[in-house]
Amino acid sequence: MRAIPQGLDRKEAELYAQLDPDQFPKHVAIIMDGNGRWAKRRHLPRIAGHRRGVESVRYVIETASRIGLPAVTLYAFSAENFLRRPPGEIGFLMKLLHRYLKNELPLMQRNNIRLQFIGRIHELPQEVQERMAWAKEQTVRNTGMVLTLALNYGSRSEIVDAVKSIVATAASNGGLDHLKIDEETISRHLYTSNLPELDLVIRTSGEMRLSNFLLWQVAYAEIYVTKTLWPDFNGWHLLEAIQEFQKRERRYGGLNEPAAPGSHPTPHSHTK
């Protein structure tokens, strides 16, 4: 009988026993949606949903780490949120993030999690940037799961920044006449260049859109949508998404030959 990772509750352990660890996704990204609706249904202010959402982050991250996922990326705060949400809500979210990074550091260390951030971080409040840099430094030597928080993140902005980086690199290394741009070059200049290929995107709350999240990286990822609101999402729901992922036939544009477990398409194998 396969060993069950320590720390899973009974329900999680029962579901884990039905899964094949050799076919776990290497990189899972989650669009955490539904905090406001969760609060509204309970006649609570939106900030109550955000507070409860932080608890869901804790449950999901601990479960992901316990089962050995190499990388998890959470869409925590979009560039659109930063521009369009009321100033009071943005201020609360920044304070919540500041507090989260301090309070959850013991969890990161206990689970050997390395923390990093993607997005236009330089546009966030200075005190939040400093806390982020501190948290990243505290976990830099951890060797387990990489937890990436997407903050003030937008995928179109990421691609723009990647192109700017490519041009700047070329200009300082032989000039633009020798500039070569292909899929591998772009991938190497994205925020996520150090992460495994994206395998699975989970969206909570039932919305059927990507909301400007990892548009380049999602090209051959599986998408799993659940009607569960983010504050109600937990480790069991993560395992449920992985179970659905393992039922999918991943052909990467080929015919009737699923890819070998753990394999990923090469940049030039995307024949449709």
Nearest-angstrom CA–CA distance, 128 and 109: 20
Question: SS in 3 state form for 189-253?
Answer: HCCCCCCCCCCEEEECCCCCCCCCCCCCHHHHCEEEECCCCHHHCCHHHHHHHHHHHHHCCCCCC
Q: Which of 9, 22, 35, 81 is catalytic?
A: 81
Per DSSP, the chain holds a count of helices (H) and strands (E) of: 10, 6
Residue from 10, 106, 20, 97 nearest 62 by CA: 106
Q: How far apart are CA 222 and CA 243, in angstroms?
A: 12
φ/ψ of 152, rounded to 5, equals: 50, 45
What is the phi/psi pair of residue 231, to 5°?
Answer: -65, -15
Half-sphere exposure of 76 (CA within 13 A, CB side): 27
Cα torsion at 9, 14, 19, 25 (round to 10°)? -20
Residues 6 or more apart from 12 whose CB is under 8 A from it?
63, 235, 236, 239
The CA distance from 96 to 118, in Å, is 18
Q: Which residues contact 260 (CB under 8 A, 6 or more apart)?
A: none
Catalytic residue, from 33, 35, 199, 234: name it. 33
* CA of residue 232 relative to chain centroid, distance: 18
Catalytic status, residue 199: no
Catalytic residue numbers? Answer: 33, 81
